[in-house]
Structure 1
Amino acid sequence: MYKHNLWELPILNGLPLAMAEKPQNLILEDGFPAVKLFNQGYSYTYDDVIFLPHYIDFATDSVQLNTKLTKNISLSIPCVSSPMDTVTESYMAVAMAYLGGIGILHSNNTPSEQFALLESAKSRRIPFVSDFEVKSPADVIELSDFGYGTVILVTDTGSRKSRVLGYVLKSVWVNLKNKDGRVCDYMSKLDYSVPSSYHLDQIAGFLGDKGVKLVPTVRESDGEVVDVMTLEDIEKFQEYPKRGLPSLTPNGDFLVGAAIGTRDSDKQRLEYLVKGGVDAVVLDSSQGNSIYQLDMIKYIKKTYPGLDVIGGNVVTAYQAQNLIQAGVDGLRVGMGSGSICTTQEVCAVGRGQATAVYKVSSIASKSGVPVIADGGISNSGHIVKALVLGASTVMMGSYLAGSTEAPGAYVVQDGRRLKKYRGMGSLEAMTKGSDQRYLGDKSKLKIAQGVVGAVADKGSILKFVPYAMHAVKQGFQDLGASSLQSAHELLRSEVLRLEARTGAAQAEGGVHGLVSYEKKAF
């Protein structure tokens, strides 16, 4: 049979037509495979490296971001909030689980205080930040009592654990002629509530049936008022972007993790958490490859064999292997890469986060242990890089700090709403107890490995995290990866290629050459 030579075939876009119609499996050396790039003696951050685009044969919405937090816990989005006292308490934990990720409650508090945060998160079904005060009928209200909220709840004794009697709206109170009177003289009566286990549609139905504007939600176990929900709150929820499947236990409550240390006293903390139904514990240490952590891992796996343990932090294959052999179900990777962390500067140890994630993931994947890339996340591109380099999830601190769900009150400075954000290695945090994370001793000198700062108001994570996840999906599409598993396989098979970026290339890859601009992510 006669066969055409390539130069005799019709030409399209500079290629023979038969070749132009579909991609050819040509061997074209371009860029570097990860195994080569990360074995040249350089410590790369996320900004130091860039992926080369691959082939697209699927839509953005086809990308699946479901993943593993640990060997036994699955999430629908690869997002974890950091166990920092200015990032994750009950509101953040609930919102993260509502979106399909998970929050890790910080341990810079007493065991009973951490238990209360866990109990609060576990009793909720709606990721609502309820800012309200509680008064007794005999109290007198001042304007400052409302804080940032719009309602004051009135109970028998003025505590959240007593019977609800009524409420006072700020909009009504400011128009009162006699503001010096007792609350009982002008409060609106309130003789109903709903269980805190109610979902959003159930509360909306209750408000509609009753024809009322607000309702308190009460925890059934002890009668404590958890939230106050209004019609306006429900309308606000309906405006948020579409979310993925929430992270739920078989019982229907939200998945919640918690941090503990490696001291003997943390065994009591752990006992509290297990009683509260914690779903995973994170051993919170800046350098996880220690006898203290190895012993704690073995203790937990022996005492609570059904509880998933996340070890760390580690940045090398050697560190990771030690913790894997001890029995961890997940690994937390990062040392000195956080925006408020100064470990690399103070102690001269650590590793660029891109290199750390790739190196640890390479060894952890052989044992089926998922990796959490902790630190260094400033934008959705960093999330893409962390996940493609081998991580199963990313842990975020500054990225979530300043949000509505982050702990702390907003302050206004130079016309901007700000919230405090501090490293757990800052002197301020260490004085409160986080020095054990750095294997410190309360009776000795404290050396700061972090700073205290402030971040701008970001609004609710219920709005900006879904947008970030869609941006991540677009990044995966450009790389030809329809899932995390696909991305990891493309990297291991050397199909995906990378290059190191010069300083000029990094500048070129960002906004440049403008006199002024406004940068909005969505």
Structure 2
Amino acid sequence: MAQNGGARDYRDGWAAADIFGREFSYTYDDIIMHPGYIDFPADVVDLSSQLSKNITLRTPCVSSPMDTVTETSMAVAMAAVGGIGFVHYNNSAEEQANMVKNAKSQRVGFVSEPVCLRPSATVSEIDSLKARKGFSSVLITEDGTLNSKLLGIVTSRDIDFVSDRKTEVAEVMTTDLVTATAGTSFEDASAVLIKSKKSLLPLVDDNGEVVELLCRTDLKRRSTYPKLGAPSLGKDGKLLVGAAVGTRESDRQRLGLLVEAGVNVVILDSAQGNSIYQKEMISYAKKAHPDIDVIGGNVASSHQARNLIEVGVDGLRVGMGSGSICTTQEVCAVGRGQATAVYQTARMANVVGIPVIADGGISNSGHIVKALTLGASTVMMGSFLAGTEEAPGDYFYQDGRRLKAYRGMGSLEAQAKGSDTRYLGDKSQMRIAQGVSGTVADKGSVLRLVPFTMHAVKQGFQDLGLQSISAARGALSCGNITMEVRTGAAQIEGGVHGLVSYEKKRF
């Protein structure tokens, strides 16, 4: 088109509808957003958003229901930072329900499942514990379990100079204890611990049985963390906790146990959610447990999403084959670039009020910004949270690096424990891997990682001129957020380059 004396009219950026209306499938890295106008500080950006129809989160972050990502500790930590964790179901129904129950009963700041040993345990057992867990302070109780009478405490000071490591801990434990009453507030318990100059403060009930534990090392570390803000709480006043279930007949019983345990929301966990099995499970869950929100998926297109919305789903999990340990696209030739999947699915779902969880492909804060501005309400993270202190598993060292195991739920190792139902493998004679197993580096605590990451996301929204996720939704639909597709060279230019060596720190 010629204008102004024949000068050609060039567009300085494109709306999402123009970008994603083409025949290409784009990942987050393929897209770059154009900056907007800044007239507000980053601190005022509101990232609160809907997880599902009836649940709002202050922090739009969700931990993935993977057996190397979310169990009790992760669920508690995610709720503490304003998000939510979904407990995996690669276990028995009773084990999963207990994880949910334990998470909902915990209080932020306390250790609800401290390590306990019997008086007859040996010093060598504490040595083994230190090698696996990284600490050597333990509680000694009558039967070596929680909710048993407290007898003493063993710290490194008690065993440093014990030459015979077969010595029973009863001979070396400290019995001059300072305790607090169960239910004592975090602030009051902290004051008692600091004044006592002890390393541990057990909280005990009227019978002297251990209920919780407060650690001096945790207090010191927490003082260096950002302020957490309000935790995610349900209508019952307890922490919000989610869980995953499959679509087998036995999962109906599992769902019932989870509801009894107090679960607030469930995800139907399938690699390809557009199936008769998932539709039947959604219908059953909504009828049998109408007070529990049900999130369906995974899906990657609007027609898949529409099928689940029609049977009453309360939220959608979007992403197929985009996770770092997922090989679905390679093995099965199905899936979609995650940026395209999020945009196309959310464009339809948001019109009818169904929130979208962008699941997969999140490696940095920029990916979170892109997911939320392309229509997602929250982001689900697996590898991003794997390797944190709250993730399941023990740390180990390899070539001088502190690592944890991380595996896809489509890996043969995970399928052998029961996740094959996610890939409909329990209906087949053979298991085919759709994921891999590997290791990830130590990332520290979720209580530090997520708040810093969210501040980076707020800075991204500030650069875009957006004060909230709802503002992003409106700007996206009006075409006021402009973007472009990056070439491979542009992607290289947008990252660290031209250095002989460097150390990349998140914060």
| TM-score interval (norm. to shorter) | over 0.9
Q: Does residue 332 of structure 2 align to residue 347 of structure 1?
A: yes
In structure 1, the partner of 2:202 is 216
Q: Does residue 457 of structure 2 align to residue 475 of structure 1?
A: no
Cα separation, 1, equivalents of 2:353 and 2:174: 58
Cα separation, 2, equivalents of 1:72 and 1:289: 23
Cα separation, 1, equivalents of 2:244 and 2:144: 32
Deviations 1:280-318 (A, max 9, x none): 000000111111111111111111101010100001101
Q: Secondary structure in 2 aligned to 1:274?
A: helix
Q: CA deviation at 1:179?
A: 4.5
Deviations 1:399-447 (A, max 9, x none): 0101111110111000000100000000000001000000112761100
In structure 2, the partner of 1:4 is none
In structure 2, the partner of 1:510 is 495
Identify which range, 194-203 or 255-264, moves more after superposition.
Answer: 194-203
Cα separation, 2, equivalents of 1:244 and 1:115: 28
Q: In 2, are the aligned partners of 1:427 and 1:447 still within 8 Å (CA)?
A: yes
The change in CA–CA distance for 1:444 and 1:329 in structure 2 (over 3 A counts) is same
In structure 1, the partner of 2:274 is 289
- Match of residue 166, structure 1, among 137, 152, 156: 152
In structure 1, the partner of 2:101 is 119
In structure 1, the partner of 2:142 is 156
Q: In 1, are the aligned partners of 2:150 and 2:208 still within 8 Å (CA)?
A: no
In structure 2, the partner of 1:333 is 318
In structure 1, the partner of 2:88 is 106
- Match of residue 34, structure 2, among 37, 41, 52: 52
Cα separation, 1, equivalents of 2:386 and 2:401: 15
Deviations 1:96-133 (A, max 9, x none): 10000000000000011111211221111125667853
Deviations 1:142-187 (A, max 9, x none): 1224442221211111222422211111232122355544322222
Q: Does residue 190 of structure 2 align to residue 204 of structure 1?
A: yes
Q: CA deviation at 1:28?
A: 8.4
Cα separation, 2, equivalents of 1:152 and 1:314: 46
Deviations 1:72-117 (A, max 9, x none): 1111111000000000011111011000000000000001111121
What TM-score do you get using the length of structure 1 for normalisation?
A: 0.90
Counterpart of 2:419, as a letter, is: S
In structure 2, the partner of 1:39 is 21
Q: Secondary structure in 2 aligned to 1:428?
A: helix
In structure 2, the partner of 1:231 is 216
Cα separation, 2, equivalents of 1:316 and 1:357: 8
In structure 2, the partner of 1:189 is 175
Whose Rg is larger? 1
Counterpart of 2:321, as a letter, is: G
Q: In 2, are the aligned partners of 1:125 and 1:199 still within 8 Å (CA)?
A: no
Cα separation, 2, equivalents of 1:56 and 1:286: 40
The change in CA–CA distance for 1:491 and 1:325 in structure 2 (over 3 A counts) is same
Q: Secondary structure in 1 aligned to 2:14?
A: coil
Q: Over the residues paired in the alignment, what is the CA RMSD in angstroms? A: 2.2
Q: Secondary structure in 2 aligned to 1:69?
A: strand
- Counterparts of residues 5-404 of structure 1 (less than 5 Å): 29-127=11-109, 133-142=115-124, 143-146=127-130, 147=132, 148-176=134-162, 179-189=165-175, 194=180, 198-207=184-193, 212-217=198-203, 225=210, 227-404=212-389
Q: In 1, are the aligned partners of 2:158 and 2:173 still within 8 Å (CA)?
A: no
Report how many aligned residue pairs link the two structures.
495
Q: In 2, are the aligned partners of 1:91 and 1:127 still within 8 Å (CA)?
A: no
Counterpart of 2:379, as a letter, is: V
Structure 2 unaligned segments of length 5 or more: list them: 1-8
Q: CA deviation at 1:70?
A: 0.6
Cα separation, 1, equivalents of 2:182 and 2:471: 40
Cα separation, 2, equivalents of 1:103 and 1:194: 30
Cα separation, 2, equivalents of 1:345 and 1:321: 26
Identify which range, 376-385 or 455-464, moves more after superposition.
Answer: 455-464
Counterpart of 2:119, as a letter, is: P
Cα separation, 1, equivalents of 2:312 and 2:184: 38
Identify which range, 176-185 or 68-77, moves more after superposition.
Answer: 176-185
Structure 1 unaligned segments of length 5 or more: list them: 1-26
The change in CA–CA distance for 1:322 and 1:195 in structure 2 (over 3 A counts) is farther
Cα separation, 2, equivalents of 1:521 and 1:181: 44
Identify which range, 147-156 or 500-509, moves more after superposition.
Answer: 147-156
Cα separation, 1, equivalents of 2:121 and 2:380: 44
What TM-score do you get using the length of structure 2 for normalisation?
A: 0.93
Q: Secondary structure in 2 aligned to 1:441?
A: helix
Cα separation, 2, equivalents of 1:424 and 1:343: 11
Q: Secondary structure in 2 aligned to 1:373?
A: strand
Deviations 1:377-412 (A, max 9, x none): 000000000000000000000001011111101110
Cα separation, 2, equivalents of 1:419 and 1:272: 30
In structure 2, the partner of 1:409 is 394
- Match of residue 456, structure 1, among 420, 430, 441: 441
Taking only the aligned residue pairs, the percentage that are identical comes to 57
In structure 2, the partner of 1:11 is none
